[in-house]
């Protein structure tokens, strides 16, 4: 399995994690930064797990990060954004 495919699969479940971290009262740019940061971590981890990690060649990390962020965004916008679970997670202390 390619690092991009692995990152995209993990990205499907990321809205749960991101909503638990972010808060409903925070500015959108902060929430976007959280989503981007988590996507970068997942992208780098998926490349590392597949044995392709090379910090001097960031192409694989960037494509895996983009796949993860894209999958998470699609799932969030298409389904998760309007659920009661999202509302509960963003209100956690």
Q: Tens of pLDDT along 41-76?
A: 999 999 999 887 877 778 889 999 999 999 999 999
Task: Give the contacts of 48 (CB within 8 A, at least 6 positions apart).
Answer: none
Q: Which domain holds residue 79?
A: 3-90
Q: Is the pLDDT of residue 93 over 80?
A: no
In 3D, which of 68, 47, 66 has the Cα closest to residue 3? Answer: 47
How far apart, in whole angstroms, are the C-alpha atoms of residue 39 and residue 72?
8
Q: Give the per-residue pLDDT at 50.
A: 87
Per the structure, how many domains does the chain have? 1
Across the chain, what does the average pLDDT equal?
A: 91
Q: Give the per-residue pLDDT at 12.
A: 95
pTM over 0.75: yes
């Amino acid at each position: 399995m390619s690092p991009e495919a692995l990152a995209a699969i993990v990205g499907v479940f990321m809205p749960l994690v991101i909503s638990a971290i972010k808060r409903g009262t925070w500015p959108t740019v902060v929430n976007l930064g959280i989503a981007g940061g988590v996507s970068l971590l997942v992208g780098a981890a998926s490349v590392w797990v597949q044995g392709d990690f090379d910090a001097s060649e960031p192409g694989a990390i960037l494509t895996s990060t983009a796949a993860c962020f894209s999958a998470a965004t699609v799932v969030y916008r298409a389904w998760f954004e309007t659920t009661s679970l999202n509302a509960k997670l963003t209100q956690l202390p």
